[in-house]
Chains A and B, each alone.
Chain A
Amino acid sequence: MTDVSAGDGPVTDVPPPATPRQDLVDRLLAGDRRALARVLTRIENGDRVGAAASARLYAHGGRAHVVGVTGPPGAGKSTLVGALIGAYREQGRSVGVVAVDPSSPMSGGATLGDRIRMGAWHGDDQVFVRSMASRGHGGGVARATTDLVDALDAAGFNPVIVETVGAGQGEIDVAALTHTTLLVQVPGTGDAVQTLKAGGLEVGDILVVGKGDLPGAAGLEADLRGMLTLAEPDPPSRRAVPGQDAWPVRVIRVSAQTQEGVAELADAIDAHRAHLARSGEIVTRLRARAEATLLARLRALLEAQVAGTTADRRVADAVAAVAARTRTPDEALASVLTVLAERGAPWAGAAANNRSASFGRR
């Protein structure tokens, strides 16, 4: 077995943690919020302590309802999450939040500005808000987001809310790691044709018309409802269990300003959770989530491995040749695969052979 991690990237085969590290997890499980914060950092960094903590915490998770909130930048996602926290606290429920903002592709830095909208609960230890940078991960969440959610779940927060990077039409990874996905739309961003487009609108279990007090909100609500009536009752994009009714996607207009719709939204999230349990769809979703998590880990390992090849001179030469248009990207790929195979990735050699065999047919 070759070491595919080559010392880089997330660590999967982790030695048993030393005693003080176990204490950190024990403190987390006992309700120590500072220990929780520390564990989240280590998990986010993907280091050995974090991996060991994740492994121990996994058995304690699976209780929380995980709610994803996605939508375009400035749609009011953070403000909506702030309003939802209020609704849940009124019901006596604790709330964990993981709020993701983008990392700079230039500097690696980030401005994390989500908790500014959630400041009302700073003295309440039943509310825990954690900001994280996407650190180069696409799809609207960070690589470690799902592990942070699991840690908050293990710490007893329920629900756990994941707020994505301001997302356009295609960043839908959040749907794979949550039970209920809220898609926030706001007035003034296009006509009814926009509501027909694929992507985010397909993964929303609840479509939220944000800034519901603004002019145009009622029109957007009508457009979204109209769009939903155009679909078959059970379109393939919904993940219903055969023989069971699909969840009827809801459209809810919310104004965090006036609080209109906030309680209704919290109720709709509960109704969706009940639907998942009653219909058995929760099983499908949990399996999809597990698959997405495993594939994401595999991808991270492969990415770390691939990133390591750019230091090799042959790859640098291939890059230069592609830039100069003396080789096509497909031709240059052979060099990368050769380097990968030499660095101990057995699949790369096979892929290189397949490619050269099939190249003429492309």
Chain B
Amino acid sequence: MEASDVGPGGAGSSDVWGARDDARARPIKVLVAKPGLDGHDRGAKVMARAMRDAGFEVVYTGLFQTPEMIASAAAQEDVDVVGLSILSGAHLTLFPLIMDALRERGVDDVLVVAGGTIPAEDLAEVEAMGVAAVFGPGTPMRTAIQFIRERTPRRDEP
């Protein structure tokens, strides 16, 4: 039996990364957000594009997002993954606020990943907050896509 219940162009399609996602009932849904005040969104857009081409549904919320905006969007959109792109250096301030805001809204089973410029010495602290991976400059897109594919929680039961 084919997983065709998402219709044409759904999870059953092969994607540019050569993988097939038949096992999944729907495309992975990802929120891409730029928390804080830096205006550098090229990385976020590159990743949004790559994930779209990998067959993900990407909710792009753009620049200058507050923790509350991110959590609200993640909750309403019921995403599987939250991707945070940050180049301002404020990650140690903003990420804990974002994780708290997500928990407050009952978004406690999403995969949170980050990208941007996060210094190596901060990685342990960022990961301890619950950020599953940090994709720094130079990360091959395939690596990030593969990680998300493998680590996105399955949520078939309510």
Contacts and interface: CB of A to CB of B under 8 A. Distances in A.
B66 to A, nearest CB: 8
Contacts of A8: 1-2, 4-5
B8 A112 contact: no
Contacts of A300: 7
Contacts of A11: 5
A40 B8 CA distance: 20
Interface residues of A, number: 51
B60 A103 contact: no
6 contacts: A40-B78, A103-B57, A104-B9, A104-B53, A106-B16, A112-B77
Contacts of B4: 8-9, 304, 307-308
A24 B158 CA distance: 7
A38 B12 CA distance: 22
Nearest to B5: A46
Contact of B78 (A7, A37, A46, A104): A37
Interface in A1-37: 7-11, 20-21, 23-24, 33-34, 37
B75 A37 contact: yes
A11 B158 CA distance: 18
Secondary structure at the B interface, as helix, strand, loop or mixed, is loop
A46 B13 contact: no
Contacts of B26: 41, 44-45
Contact of A107 (B6, B52, B157): B52
A145 to B, nearest CB: 13
A275 interface: no
Secondary structure at the A interface, as helix, strand, loop or mixed, is mixed
Interface in B69-95: 69, 72-73, 75-78
A315 B76 CA distance: 43
Contacts of A40: 78
A45 B58 contact: no
A23 B72 CA distance: 22
Nearest to B13: A108
Given A9-B4, A115-B61, A107 B53 contact: yes
Interface stretch (A130-138, A164-172, A208-216, A278-286): A130-138
A103 B2 contact: no
B35 interface: no
